[in-house]
């Protein structure tokens, strides 16, 4: 009987020890994740492009290794893109694309958008989107960029190159897309209430189930999908 009790006691002790070790490992891991997150965010504000790129990709690794931190990282990288591109106070839907200068987005901005696009949506916070509201993306060259489900409400996209860009499910309410080249763009299910599409090229774009769509002044052809 004594031997049985001793054996049971040893099992309980081993189980408690294993649980304690597991908790300690998790605490250590979380501490490492927190440190990596903090260091990466600090790198985003550095003056060197290489350092900022390192910060972007470090956040991508943290997001992959720690899904619980994804929602915070999506917010941080969205804010980084808005800051790099430039924010606008109020959308100006009357502005035309006549004087929009072509701008080449920095590699750090493009990297941030790519990391955001590769995230697993199931780890987003409820209702979370890539938040690019009221962002100045005018004249940017963003062909084939993955911006599906992004919130671009009120953003300035005049003259932007969006050839083959994935904007499916995107929120484009009151966005200014005047003169944008959206050839072959995927706009399925996009919400476009009040969006300005004057002189936008939608040749071959997929507008299936795009909502509140006003194509006044836009360039569409028989290859444009979803136009009635």
The residue ranges of every structural domain in the chain are 1-228
Residue 168 has pLDDT above 60, yes or no: yes
The pTM for the full model equals 0.83
CB 85 within 8 A of CB 141: no
CB 54 within 8 A of CB 43: yes
Residue 11 has pLDDT above 80, yes or no: no
Query: Residue 150: left if φ>0, alpha if ψ -120 to 50, beta else—which one?
Result: beta
Rounded to 5 degrees, what are φ and ψ at 4? -65, -45
| Residue range 121-132: mean pLDDT, rounded | 93
- Give SS3 for 45: coil
- Provide, for the chain, the percentages of residues in helix, strand and coil under a 3-state DSSP scheme, each rounded to the nearest 5: 40, 10, 50
Residue 26 has pLDDT above 80, yes or no: no
Can you tell me which residue has the tokens 């390192």? 54
Which residues have a Cβ under 8 Å from the Cβ of 47 and sit 6 or more positions away?
none
Residue 187 has pLDDT above 60, yes or no: yes
Please give the share of the chain, as a percent, with pLDDT higher than 90: 68
């Amino acid at each position: 009987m004594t031997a049985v009790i001793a054996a049971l006691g040893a099992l309980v002790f081993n189980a408690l020890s294993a649980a304690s070790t597991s908790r300690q490992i998790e605490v250590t891991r979380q501490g490492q994740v927190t440190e990596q997150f903090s260091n990466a965010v600090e790198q985003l504000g550095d003056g060197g492009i290489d350092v900022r790129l390192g910060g972007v990709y470090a956040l991508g690794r943290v997001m992959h290794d720690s899904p619980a931190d994804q929602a915070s990282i999506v917010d941080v990288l969205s804010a980084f893109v808005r800051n790099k591109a430039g924010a606008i106070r109020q959308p100006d839907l009357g502005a035309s694309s006549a004087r929009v200068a072509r701008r080449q987005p920095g590699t750090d901005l493009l990297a941030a958008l790519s990391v955001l696009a590769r995230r697993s949506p199931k780890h987003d916070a409820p209702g979370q989107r890539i938040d690019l509201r009221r962002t100045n993306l005018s004249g940017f060259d963003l062909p084939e960029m993955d911006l599906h489900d992004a919130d671009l409400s009120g953003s300035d996209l005049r003259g932007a190159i969006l050839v083959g860009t994935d904007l499916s499910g995107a929120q484009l309410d009151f966005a200014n897309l005047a003169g944008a080249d959206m050839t072959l763009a995927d706009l399925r299910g996009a919400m476009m209430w009040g969006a300005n599409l004057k002189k936008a090229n939608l040749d071959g774009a997929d507008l299936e189930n795009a909502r509140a769509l006003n194509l006044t002044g836009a360039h569409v052809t028989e290859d444009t999908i979803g136009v009635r």
